[in-house]
Structure 1
Amino acid sequence: TVPIFTCGGNITGESGVIGSQGYPGVYPPNTKCVWRITVPEGKVVVLSFRYIDLENDNFCRYDYVDVHSGHVNSQRLGRFCGTFKPGALVSTGNKMLLQMVSDANTAGSGFLAVFSAAHRHERGDQYCGGRLDKPSGTFKTPNWPEKDYPAGVSCFWHIVAPKNQIIEVKFEKFDVERDNYCRYDHVSIFNGPEINDARRIGKYCGDSPPAPVFSEGNQLLIQFLSDLSLTADGFIGHYKFRPKKLPVTTTPPTTTTQPVTTRPTPLKYSVALCQQKCKRRGTLESNYCSSNFVITGTVITAAMRGGSMYATVSIINVYKEGSLAIQQAGKTMSTKIIILCKKCPLIRRGLNYIFMGQVDEEGRGKIAPHHFVMAFKKKNQKGLNVLKNRQC
C-alpha cells in the first residue's frame, strides 16, 4: 500500500519516509509545506532523496525543496528542484527541517525521501568544524592524515576576521569523493556567516586542490559534507586574514581651501575583472597545477550574453578534468565554457584551443582574463602528456 502523503508534519523516530503532498500524483500549486524531523538525542539525521521531480529552474526560484540542519534559525544544507537527486544530507544535531514551496504553475510528481538516525561522528572529544577567529589557522577533515574521513559527516567552519580585513583560504592537500557535479561528498565555501546559494564562491570535490579563495567581506563559511557511501583521504586547508584593499578614486586639484576627500568605492567583481589587462601569464607548466581543469578542444558554438561569451567546446583531449561537467554522445565529448570578459581572451568558432581555468558550481568552465588559453597545435600535445603524468 502506498502511504498518503500530506502537506508537512512533525515526524519523530529512528527512520521514516517523507513525500510531497499527493505523491506520486502532481503536487498542488501555491503551497508551502514544512516537515520537522526529530531523531533520538545524540544522533544526527541522514536524509536521502529517492525521487525528485519539481519544476526546473537553474536557481530553483519557483518550485523547490529546502533542507535545513535543525528546526529554527539553522544552516540550510541545500535547495533542490528539477529531477537532479543530491547525495545524502546530514544534519549537525538530531533535528532536520524540509520545506517545499510551489508557485501557481506546477510541473511534476514532487519528491520522495527517506531519513534515518545515525551516530554523530566525534574526533576525540571534539566535533569537526567550529568558529575560527585567530589571524591564521588550519582546518581539516576528521581522521586527517591517519585515515579516510568517515561517512555521514557534516562540518561547518565559520571564519570571522576583524571588520576591515578579508580572509584568504588555501588547500594544501585535497582528496574528496569525485563526481562531475560534486553531488555526494563535497566542500562548499560561502561569503558571509551562513549557507546561501546566492553567495556561494564554489563547490569542490575530486583530487585537485581548489585555487586560493578570497572572501568579499570579513566572514566565510566552509561546509564539508560526506554521504554514507565512498570516502577518501580528505583535506587540510589553511586560512589567514589580509587587509582589505579597495580601489581609491582620485580627484583633480580644486581651488577651494577645503581638501576634497572621496570614499573608496568597491567595484563590481565582473567590471573589475574586465578592466584587467588582457595578458596571458606564465607557461603551460606553471598554469597546469593551479587550474581546476585542462582540456584541448574545438569551439563549436559561441554566444554573447551581457559582457560574457558562452561557448560549447568539442573536446579533443582531457588532461585534467576536476569537477568539469562533460557530456558524451557516442564518441563525441563536449563541455560548456564561459569566457567572463567576452574579448579576453578572444576565441573564435571553429578553431582549436588549450583551455586552463576554474569550474563553477554547475560544472561549467570559467575563463577569466588571467587564465591560460592559447591556440592548440599538434606540437603542444607532447608537453601536455608530460604534465598529465607528473604529480602537481
Structure 2
Amino acid sequence: MRRMCSVLLCACALLLLLTGDAQARPTFACGGNVTGDSGVIGSQGYPGVYPPNTKCVWRITVPEGKVVVLTFRFLDLESDNLCRYDYVDVYSGHVNSQRLGRFCGTFRPGALVSTGNKMLVQMVSDANTAGSGFLAVFSAAHPHERGDQYCGGRLMKPSGTFKTPNWPEKDYPAGVTCSWHIIAPKNQIIEVKFEKFDVERDNYCRYDYVAIFNGGEINDAKRIGKFCGDTPPAPVFSEGNQLLIQFLSDLSLTADGFIGHYKFRPKKFPTTTMPPATTTQPTTTRPIPLKYSAALCQQKCKRKGTPESHYCSSNFVITGTVITAVMRGGSMYATISIINVYKEGSLAIQQAGKTMSTKIVILCKKCPSVRRGLNYIFMGQTDEEGRGMIAPHHFVMAFKAKNQRAFNVLKTKRC
C-alpha cells in the first residue's frame, strides 16, 4: 500500500510538472546522483530534442531496506530493432550490477524494480539523434519477501527450487523483478524444469515474462528463451556452468505465477537446449528442418496455390518488410520487419519497442525473388534455431495494405 501511495504521489507531482507553467518545469542535466524516497529524472534538455554523442548516467539511491521502482512516463528515442544507436539502459545497483533492460523507440516498458536500494540509469546517443528522450519517476518500496528470502538470489546448491512471490497462496504481485543466478561447478551444466507455470499471456511476452540466459548477466545475445502464458516451457539446459533466470511483472494484470526446479548435471550429459525464442508457450507446430540442395533450386520458379491452401501446412505466416538481404552461397539471408503475425509457430521473433523483426533464409536466392524495402507475405517452415526457411514450393507474394482484410481471415482458419 505504501508503495502504491508513493507511486501515486510521484505521478501527481509529475502531472503538475508537465501541465504547470513552463517556468516551473525543472531543467534536466546529463545524469547525476539522485537520493530520496521519490523523484523525477529526464534526458538532458527534455522535453526538447536530446543532444548527440552523449553518455549520461543517473545513480538513484533510496533509503536502506527499500528497493527502487522506476516507471517511464515518456520515451522517445531513435528506433532500432536492437537498440544499437540511442538507448536507455537500466541496472539494478550502481557497480557490476545486472541489467534490467535496454530501451529505445517509443514503447514504454512496465515498472522496473531493483533488488536493493540502488539503481543506475544510463542514456547513450550517437551522432544522429531523433526524439525528445525520456521522463521517468522513481520511488522507494518495500521489497517483496517470502520468509527471510527476497525474491531472486544466488543459488549454488546441487539442486533447488525457485518460485514467484506469494506462490502458491495467491497471484504474484505487480511491478516486481526477480533474478535467480544459478552457479554450478566448472565441470557441470544446469537443467531447469518448470512444474507449474502461469504468467500473463501476450503474443510477444512484452508485459510479464520469464527470460533465461546463459551466463550470469542479462544479455540478449545469450538469451535461451523468453516465456509467458499458461503452459510450462520445455526443460532448459545451460551451455556452461552459469544460468540467469529473470522474472518481470509490470503494473497491470497478474497471474498464478510459477514454481521451477533446477539441478546440476555432468557436462557430458546430452542436452536439448531450447532454440532462442520470444514467443509464448506452447508453439503450435514443431520446427521442420530443411536441407539445402542444388536440385531444390533447379525447379521452375512458379508460385502455386493460395494463402488459404498453404496456411495449414506452413509453420509460420507473417507479413513484413525486407530490411536487409545478404547473399551467402546460393541462399539469401534476410531480416524482416514484421507488419502482422497470422501464425507464429516456432518462428523466433525479436522485439525492441513496438518494432518486431525476424530472420528468414530464402534457400534458393532467386526463387522466390524478394527485394529489400518491399512488403511480402511469407509462409514457410522453421529450422532448429527458429529461423524462417523459404523454399521454392512455399508461398510468398507481394503484400499491399489493401489486402490486409483478406489476410485477416487466415487467423480464423481451422487446421
Please report the TM-score for the alignment, with normalisation by the length of structure 1: 0.69
Match of 1:61 among 78, 81, 84: 84
RMSD: 4.1
Identity over the aligned pairs, expressed in percent?
Answer: 70
Counterpart AA for 2:82: F
In 1, Cα distance between the equivalents of 2:100 and 2:357?
A: 27
Shift of 1:154: 2.1
Residue 162 of structure 1 corresponds to which residue in structure 2? Answer: 185
Shift of 1:194: 1.7
Match of 1:226 among 249, 253, 267: 249
In 2, Cα distance between the equivalents of 1:291 and 1:211?
A: 9
In 1, Cα distance between the equivalents of 2:171 and 2:383?
A: 29
Paired residues of 1:128 and 1:141 also in contact (CA < 8 A): yes
Q: Does 2:113 match 1:90? A: yes
Residue 179 of structure 1 corresponds to which residue in structure 2? Answer: 202
What is the CA deviation profile of residues 117-164 of structure 1, one whole-angstrom value per residue up to 9, with x for unaligned ones?
211111122212222223332211122222111223222111112212
In 2, Cα distance between the equivalents of 1:238 and 1:322?
A: 27
Change (3 A) 1:151 1:352: closer
Q: Does 2:55 match 1:32? A: yes
Counterpart AA for 1:80: F
Match of 1:207 among 214, 230, 236: 230
Shift of 1:13: 1.8
Q: Does 2:145 match 1:122? A: yes
Counterpart AA for 2:259: I
Change (3 A) 1:200 1:48: same
Paired residues of 1:180 and 1:325 also in contact (CA < 8 A): no
Counterpart AA for 2:103: F
Q: Does 2:283 match 1:292? A: yes
Tell which deviates more after alignment, 94-103 or 131-140.
131-140
Unaligned stretches of 5+ in structure 1? Answer: 248-268, 274-288, 327-334, 369-373, 376-380, 387-392
Change (3 A) 1:82 1:314: closer
What is the CA deviation profile of residues 302-331 of structure 1, one whole-angstrom value per residue up to 9, with x for unaligned ones?
9776577559799897598999799xxxxx
Tell which deviates more after alignment, 106-115 or 202-211.
202-211
Paired residues of 2:69 and 2:112 also in contact (CA < 8 A): yes
Counterpart AA for 1:226: S
In 2, Cα distance between the equivalents of 1:355 and 1:168?
A: 28
Paired residues of 1:32 and 1:101 also in contact (CA < 8 A): yes
In 2, Cα distance between the equivalents of 1:12 and 1:351?
A: 51
Q: Secondary structure at the match of 2:243?
A: strand
Q: Secondary structure at the match of 1:134?
A: coil
Shift of 1:19: 0.8
Change (3 A) 1:148 1:111: same
Residue 192 of structure 1 corresponds to which residue in structure 2? Answer: 215
Match of 2:162 among 121, 127, 139: 139
Q: How many residues align?
A: 322
Counterpart AA for 2:251: L
Q: Secondary structure at the match of 1:107?
A: coil
Shift of 1:61: 2.0
Paired residues of 1:206 and 1:322 also in contact (CA < 8 A): no
Change (3 A) 1:233 1:321: farther
Match of 2:41 among 5, 18, 37: 18
Unaligned stretches of 5+ in structure 2? Answer: 1-20, 286-310, 371-375, 396-409
Paired residues of 1:50 and 1:113 also in contact (CA < 8 A): yes
Counterpart AA for 2:116: G
> Which structure has more helix as a fraction of its residues?
2
Match of 1:104 among 109, 121, 127: 127
Counterpart AA for 1:56: S
Change (3 A) 1:308 1:230: farther
Q: Secondary structure at the match of 2:149?
A: coil
In 2, Cα distance between the equivalents of 1:94 and 1:121?
A: 13
In 2, Cα distance between the equivalents of 1:161 and 1:149?
A: 28
In 2, Cα distance between the equivalents of 1:213 and 1:348?
A: 37
Residue 8 of structure 1 corresponds to which residue in structure 2? Answer: 31
What is the CA deviation profile of residues 185-237 of structure 1, one whole-angstrom value per residue up to 9, with x for unaligned ones?
22111111122232222222222322322212110011112223221111111
Shift of 1:71: 1.4
Q: Does 2:102 match 1:79? A: yes
Shift of 1:50: 1.2
Paired residues of 2:360 and 2:388 also in contact (CA < 8 A): yes
In 2, Cα distance between the equivalents of 1:351 and 1:6?
A: 46
Please report the TM-score for the alignment, with normalisation by the length of structure 2: 0.65
Counterpart AA for 1:94: N
Residue 331 of structure 1 corresponds to which residue in structure 2? Answer: none
Change (3 A) 1:357 1:347: farther
Shift of 1:339: 5.2
In 2, Cα distance between the equivalents of 1:304 and 1:194?
A: 31
